Amino acid sequence: MEQAKIQKKEQSTVLFLTVTALFIALTYLFTAFINVRLPIAANGGLIHLGNVPLFIGAVIFGKKTGMLAGGIGMGLFDLLSGWTLWAPFTLVIVGLMGYVVGRMTEKESHQNYFWYVASIAAACVIKIVGYYLAEVIIYGNLLAPAASIPGNLVQIAVAAVIVLIVIGPLNKAARKVGLK
């Protein structure tokens, strides 16, 4: 009996690590390779689809997977690209976004579009406020960070549309195969 519990716990841990590593990789890949750099803002900017796997992972597999996929996946992108200065901020901001999306949607009663929309809206607020404050710290200016807000809004809006289209069927499939 005790051996069965240990084996089940080990299988659960292996599944968590595997799924989380997959979503970290997907978040990194979608950020690194499916993006548009914005030439209009003085401080640069990037619109990417990294939030799509981040939100999907958080909704289907929960707050821990969301937090790690977001923070590590996008933080890794910052470290491996020209955005290295941003990595610590990204780790915290996007990790918090993933945690909140997963936390808000983890209850079975919260597995509906209202909670999906609400959780993505909360993530949007975290992104806007978090990166605004990060830019204030980096640039020492209260006005310059405002130029990044439209790009961040577009980035979350595009991800929200994609996620809200695919999350229902993906959630159903995850339940069907016993991942949820």
Question: Among 109-118, 142-151, 161-170, which range has the highest average pLDDT?
Answer: 161-170
Q: What is the pLDDT of residue 41?
A: 57
Q: What is the pLDDT of residue 32?
A: 96
| DSSP structural state of residue 73 | H
Backbone angles phi, psi at 35, to 5 degrees: -150, 165
Strands 46-48 and 35-37: antiparallel
The pTM (predicted TM-score) of the whole model is 0.93
Name the percent of the chain lying above pLDDT 90. 77
Structural domains present in the chain: 2-33+41-176 (1.10.1760.20)
Q: How far is 146 from 150, CA to CA, in rounded Å?
A: 8
Name the percent of the chain lying above pLDDT 70. 96
pLDDT in tens, 39-98: 765 555 678 999 999 999 999 999 999 999 999 999 999 999 988 999 999 999 999 999
Name the residue with tokens 């993530």: 123
Buried b (16+ CB within 10 A) or exposed e, 115-151: bbeebbebbbebbbebbbebbeeeeeeeebbebbbeb
Do the Cβ atoms of 104 and 59 come closer than 8 Å?
Answer: no
Q: How far is 70 from 58, CA to CA, in rounded Å?
A: 9
Q: What is the pLDDT of residue 4?
A: 82
Q: How far is 132 from 12, CA to CA, in rounded Å?
A: 38
Tokens of 133: 């404050």
- Give the Cβ contact number of residue 96 at 10 Å: 19
Q: How far is 63 from 57, CA to CA, in rounded Å?
A: 9
Q: What is the pLDDT of residue 109?
A: 81
Instruction: Work out the mean pLDDT of the chain and round it to a whole number.
Output: 93
